[in-house]
């Protein structure tokens, strides 16, 4: 009988140990998720910093972007520069949209991103027309998101 009682206590102890292990695993997974969100947010922030900083470090690109957004004519080289930079910007936005859909970007931040995208389109005579030409190169969900932001539509 004593062995039976000891066995029950050992079984209970083992079950409690497993339960404690599961609780610790859940806590670790939750912490990893928070760290992943922070890392993704940091990478997204650094990505846009790079895109936005490029014209500050490249006067030719700055001139080309200024001319494009003002609706002025561009040389072939300037048009190419602006297209590359605009595609980089759109790809960054698409990544933000993907991260949001994957649950790794919160509603408030995504809402602010959308407002920034809208403002970017409003501030540029070039961007909306270019988007309408290249939107088929982007994911359908992202394209629908951007199309919904445009004042005139494509």
Give pLDDT tens digits for 63-100: 999 999 999 999 999 999 999 999 999 999 999 999 89
Number of domains in the chain: 1
Neighbours of 13 (CB within 10 A): 10
- Is 77 within a domain? yes
Give the residue numbers spanning the domain of 46: 35-149
Measured between alpha carbons, how far is residue 134 from residues 33, 48, 74, 154 in Å?
34, 20, 18, 11
Measured between alpha carbons, how far is residue 126 from residues 61, 65, 94 in Å?
15, 9, 19
Q: How confident is the model at residue 13 (pLDDT cuts 50, 70, 90)?
A: confident
- Is 116 within a domain? yes
Among 80, 93, 108, residue whose Cα is nearest residue 52: 93
**Ranges 79-83, 99-103, 128-132, 141-145: which has the least confidence:** 99-103
- Is 17 within a domain? no
- Is 79 within a domain? yes
- Is 80 within a domain? yes
Residue 5: exposure state from Cβ atoms within 10 A (0-12, 13-18, ≥19): exposed
Number of residues that make up the chain:
154
- Is 82 within a domain? yes
Q: Which residues are CB-contacts of 40 (< 8 A; sequence separation ≥ 6)?
A: 99, 104, 105
Q: Give the model's pLDDT for residue 116.
A: 94
Q: Return d(Cα 142, Cα 146) in angstroms, integer.
A: 6
- Is 3 within a domain? no
- Is 8 within a domain? no
């Amino acid at each position: 009988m004593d062995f039976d009682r000891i066995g029950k206590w050992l079984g209970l102890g083992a079950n409690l140990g497993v339960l404690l292990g599961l609780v610790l695993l859940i806590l670790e997974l939750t912490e990893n998720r928070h760290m992943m969100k922070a890392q993704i947010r940091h990478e997204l922030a650094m990505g846009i910093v790079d895109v936005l900083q490029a014209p500050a470090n490249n006067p030719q690109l700055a001139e080309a972007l200024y001319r494009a957004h003002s609706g002025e004519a561009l040389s072939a080289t300037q048009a190419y520069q602006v297209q590359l930079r605009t595609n980089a910007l759109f790809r960054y936005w698409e990544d933000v949209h993907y991260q949001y859909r994957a649950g790794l970007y919160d509603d408030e931040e995504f809402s602010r991103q959308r407002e920034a995208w809208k403002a970017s389109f409003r501030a540029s005579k070039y961007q909306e027309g270019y988007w309408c030409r290249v939107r088929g190169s982007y994911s359908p969900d992202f394209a629908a998101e951007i199309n919904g932001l445009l004042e005139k539509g494509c």
